[in-house]
Chain A
Amino acid sequence: GAGVSQTPSNKVTEKGKYVELRCDPISGHTALYWYRQSLGQGPEFLIYFQGTGAADDSGLPNDRFFAVRPEGSVSTLKIQRTERGDSAVYLCASSLRGLAGGRTDTQYFGPGTRLTVL
């Protein structure tokens, strides 16, 4: 597609439930990133994929958060036993080369998924 797409655009769930957030990157982009943005804050890094593998997952806050990218394109961010503090906008970005392309690589963002945990 023309840009990064994310589904759903909004997700409301109850505390303790499991959610999945999907990201479809720009076609041909090898790198994919997940960020989380809370109100009044800048985006906070969660995880970065180079191809199918997680090159850096240092931003995942705890083991309730997990992400996959099994075929090197679409990625799913999975949150188990959701808590009210997980409420935020979850942003996905992709870039053409990521790690393999050296320093000159730009991340392009999707519209985000607004997650609300009641």
Chain B
Amino acid sequence: AQSVSQHNHHVILSEAASLELGCNYSYGGTVNLFWYVQYPGQHLQLLLKYFSGDPLVKGIKGFEAEFIKSKFSFNLRKPSVQWSDTAEYFCAVNAAYAGNNRKLIWGLGTSLAVNP
């Protein structure tokens, strides 16, 4: 069965600090990978996604993620965080070719607080 693990549950940073949030998945086949963000009081929004091609994916608001197939990882990074990045971040995976299976499997989320 597929599963997603996010290593950091709560992260506190100061503005301008660099960010890396870990995400590992378990699935032997080809996967699609996503990072979603949920700002306080708002709904889930897509931050970035990986389907194929260049394993370094750039998303909105200066975020990027790198797919490392050998490590089953898709870590999220941002060189310099801002107070407005305070939010809950979710990593999600679905199997790319598994017949009817389009459901996303989610990590537990990482709560990021950025202090001004």
B104 within 8 A of A: yes
Interface: B74 (CB within 8 A): no
Q: Is A42 touching B107 in the complex (CB atoms < 8 A)?
A: yes
A81 to chain B, nearest CB (A): 25
Which B-chain residue is minimally distant from A97 (CB atoms)?
Answer: B102
- Interface contacts (Cβ under 8 Å), in number, total 64
Contact at A56–B103, with CB atoms within 8 Å? yes
CB pair A104–B44 under 8 Å, yes or no, is: no
Residues of B in contact, count (CB < 8 Å): 27
Residues of B within 8 A of A33 (CB): 102-104
Shortest beta-carbon distance, B29 to chain A, in Å? 11
The listed residue with most B CB atoms (<10 A of its CB), out of A43, A59, A91, is: A43
Which A residues are within 8 Å of any B CB, using their own CB? 31, 33, 35, 40-45, 48, 55-56, 58-59, 91, 95, 98-99, 103-112
